[in-house]
Amino acid sequence: MCAHVLVAEDDEKQAALIRRYLEHDGHTVTVVYDGHSAIDEVFRQSPDLLVLDWMLPGVDGLGVCRQVRGAGDLPVLMLTARSTEDDLLLGLELGADDYMTKPYSPRELMARVRTLLRRTRNSIPADQRVLRLGPLTVDPDLHEVTCRDRPVPCTPGEFRILETMAAAPGRVFSRRQLLECTEGYDRASHERAIDVHIVNLRKKIEVAPRSPELLLTVFGLGYKLTGGSGGA
């Protein structure tokens, strides 16, 4: 699942490492370096996951946890050098969903991220998981796509692209991010293959594929999915 992950980590080298691994996994990443900025970005951007360092300047991780609980069921993965049982329990009581002590393996961090995102998605009622954007509907559970009330046959890779983009309408996805999202569903193994998928999808969902209104190119960056005329 490609997601928008907010990383709050005051160690710039550590933050850069986390960003690199998350982006390699196909996620969109925002990095902040203090607690006040973390709180502001949670309410401004509504990320899918918060990776939160305990020891942040301004407002520490526990203070951030207290405040962002007002943003809904945002999953929080706490990172800390504190490793006592009391610290663990305090972090969990204040709203952290998972907890990793430093130093940690970046691979384990990515595994924890995937687990939290999967758990969050599965907790959403089935009728709320259906993604609707303008004339386009994507049903992840039934693995069905309709556009203008007509079924749209999709390959597994095409479906994953639409599912990922429909879950974040208006967000720009790079070819690399879309490629990561199709991994395991598609035999394509290079970024240019995404362009082929986009061309094929436009033929299936656009009224005029050469003048798309739903699946748009953002030159120099990638692609985004909108609701068409009047869509975001």
The whole-number pLDDT of residue 74 equals 84
pLDDT > 70 fraction of the chain, expressed in percent and rounded: 83
For residues 53-67, average pLDDT: 88
The whole-number pLDDT of residue 94 equals 62
pLDDT > 90 fraction of the chain, expressed in percent and rounded: 36
How would residue 135 be classed by pLDDT, with cut points 50, 70 and 90?
very high
Class of CATH domain 127-225: mainly alpha
pLDDT in tens, 201-214: 999 999 999 999 99
SS3 track for the chain: CCCEEEEECCCHHHHHHHHHHHHHCCCEEEEECCHHHHHHHHHHHCCCEEEEECCCCCCCHHHHHHHHHHHCCCCEEEEECCCCHHHHHHHHHCCCCEEEECCCCHHHHHHHHHHHHHHHHHCCCHHHHCEEECCEEEECCCCEEEECCEECCCCHHHHHHHHHHHCCCCCCECHHHHHHHHECCECCCCCHHHHHHHHHHHHHHCCCCCCCCCEEEECCCEEEECCCCCCC
How would residue 70 be classed by pLDDT, with cut points 50, 70 and 90?
low
What CATH number does the domain located at 4-122 have? 3.40.50.2300
In which residue ranges of the chain is CATH 3.40.50.2300 found? 4-122
pLDDT in tens, 83-125: 555 556 655 666 678 888 888 888 889 988 988 887 776 555 5
The whole-number pLDDT of residue 232 equals 39
The whole-number pLDDT of residue 5 equals 92
Residue 3 has pLDDT above 90, yes or no: no
For residues 189-211, average pLDDT: 88
Q: Is the pTM of this model over 0.85?
A: no
Residue 39 has pLDDT above 50, yes or no: yes
In which residue ranges of the chain is CATH 1.10.10.10 found? 127-225
